[in-house]
Amino acid sequence: MKKVILLFFSLVCAVSLVGTTIVNAQSEEPDLAKNCKAAYSCDWHSGTAVYAKNEQERMPIASMCKIMTLLLTYEARDSGKLSFDDEITVSERAAGMGGSQVFLETNGKYKAEDLVKSICIASANDSCVAMAETLSGSEELFVKRMNERASELGMLNTSFANCTGLPKEGQYSCAKDVAVMLGELIRHPDYFKFSTIWMDNITHNGGRLTEMANTNKLIRNYQGCDAGKTGFTSEAGFCLAASAERGNMRVVSVVIGGTDSQSRFNGVSSMFDYAFANFTSKCVLERSVLQDKRCAVKSGKLHEVSVIPETAAYVFCSKDDTDEITLDFVFREVKAPISIGDCVGEVTVYKNGVEVARVNLLSNDQSAASNYFDSLRDIADNWIL
C-alpha cells in the first residue's frame, strides 16, 4: 500500500513539475505569433534573431514566393539587363494565369515598371510570369535562377517550383529563409517606391483600368512599416513577411500558416512591438569621412588618403545593454595610382571582444603615381641641414 501511495505522489509531483516548466517557458518567451504555425523576427542590419518559432520548418509560403521574383527583377535592373522603361509584350500563358491578377491582355504591351508595381501592390500572378519570361525566356528557366539565388543567400530550406507561389509539388520555404530574401530585397531603395503604395491603377490598351489595393494592412496601420508581402492558399494558410523601421533600427518579421487573415497581422505586429520595445540598434560607425584615420600611399603624389566606410556599422543590443564596443582599423599596403572608392582597409566591430560586424574602408581621395620630379621634391622637403 505504501508503494502505491509513493507512486501516486511521484506522479503528482511529475505532473506539477511539467506544468511549472511550461508556464515558466511561456513567461520567459511568450507566443508572439499565436494561431500561426511558424514565425521569425530579426534585426535587419545584423541579422540577429529576436524571436523564433518553428523558423526552419519547411512549409508552403504562397505568394511570399514573389519576394524572390521581385528580388531577381531588381537585380536585373541594377545590372543593366532590364530597364523599368522597357516595353514588355505579355504572352498568352502569362495573361491566362489564375489567382490574384491584374488581368493583363494577351499581346498587350506594358512598361516593366507597371508590371513590377502590380506585383508589389496587387500580388499579380500574370505580371510575375510576364517578368519571368522576359528575364529568362521561360518561367521554368526563371525558377531555376530563383533556386540558384536562394542557394547563394544560404536559404537551405527553400525550393521554388514557380514564380507565383501557386500550389505546386516541391515548393516550400521556412520563416527564417523568407526573412533572408525580404531582407535582401529591401537593400534596393527603389522597392519602397512601390511597397508603400496603398491603392493605384494599372492602365491597359484602350484606356481600361484595373484597380490595385495593397493587401499588407500594416502599411497603413503600423508605424514604420514600409515593406512586405502577404500570401494565402488553403495549403499555406495566411502568411505575411514585413519590415518596419524606427530610428536606426529596422526589423524583419515573418509568419506562416496563420489560421485567419488577422492572425498574420497580429503576429507580425506583436513581433515588431517586442523588438522595438526591448532592443535598439546603435550606430557605432557612420558612413562619413573619418577625421582621425588616413591610409598611407606608397609612390604616390599624395603620401596618404582620407578614408570613408563603405557602409555604416550598427550594433544590435537590448536597451539596458552595457556591453563594451571596440573598433579595430586595419589598412592595406597601398601603392599609387589609387582612385576614389578603392578598398584600402577594413574596420572590425567587436562587442565584448566578439566580432559583430566588418566594414571595408574606401579611399576618399585619388592619387596618381609619383614621378622623378616628385621624388626630387620629397628629398628637398625632407633635407636636414
pLDDT for residue 369 = 86
Identify whether the C-beta of residue 228 lies closer than 8 Å to the C-beta of residue 183.
no
Q: For the chain, how far is it from start to end, CA to CA, in angstroms?
A: 109
pTM attached to this predicted model? 0.83
Summarised one tens digit per residue, pLDDT across range 64-77 is 999 999 999 999 99
**Architecture of domain 286-379 in this structure:** Sandwich (2.60)
pLDDT for residue 360 = 97
Q: What secondary structure letter does DSSP report for 227?
A: E
Q: Residue for cell digits 564596443?
A: 325
Catalytic residue annotation: 63, 66, 123
Summarised one tens digit per residue, pLDDT across range 278-311 is 999 989 999 999 999 999 999 888 889 999 999 9
The contacts of residue 94 (CB under 8 Å, 6+ apart) are: 104, 126, 127, 129, 130, 133
What top-level class would CATH report for the domain 38-279?
A: alpha beta
Cα–Cα dist 223/226, whole Å: 9
pLDDT for residue 383 = 62
Which among 6-10, 25-29, 76-80, 322-326 has the top mean pLDDT?
76-80
The contacts of residue 23 (CB under 8 Å, 6+ apart) are: none
Residue 41 grid cell: 523576427
Neighbour count for residue 302 (Cβ, 10 Å): 17
Burial of 374 (0-12, 13-18, 19+ CB in 10 A): middle
Residue among 308, 244, 66, 30 at smallest CA distance from 171 = 66
Q: How confident is the model at residue 375 (pLDDT cuts 50, 70, 90)?
A: low
Sequence length of the chain is: 385
Q: What secondary structure letter does DSSP report for 161?
A: S
Q: How confident is the model at residue 379 (pLDDT cuts 50, 70, 90)?
A: low
User: What is the rounded average pLDDT for all residues in the chain?
Assistant: 90
Residue among 295, 303, 282 at smallest CA distance from 360 = 295
Domain limits, CATH 3.40.710.10, in the chain: 38-279
pLDDT for residue 381 = 61
Average pLDDT over residues 176-205: 97
Give the Å distances, CA to CA, from 132 to 27, 88, 148, 151.
46, 11, 15, 19
| Residues forming a β-bridge with 347 | 329, 359
pLDDT for residue 300 = 85
Domain limits, CATH 2.60.410.10, in the chain: 286-379
Q: How many helices (H) and strands (E) does the chain have?
A: 11, 17
Cα–Cα dist 56/271, whole Å: 17
Identify whether the C-beta of residue 223 lies closer than 8 Å to the C-beta of residue 247.
no
Question: Which of 12-21, 182-191, 215-224, 230-239 bottoms out in mean pLDDT, i.e. has the lowest?
Answer: 12-21
pLDDT for residue 93 = 97
Summarised one tens digit per residue, pLDDT across range 123-148 is 999 999 999 999 999 999 999 999 99
Q: How confident is the model at residue 374 (pLDDT cuts 50, 70, 90)?
A: low
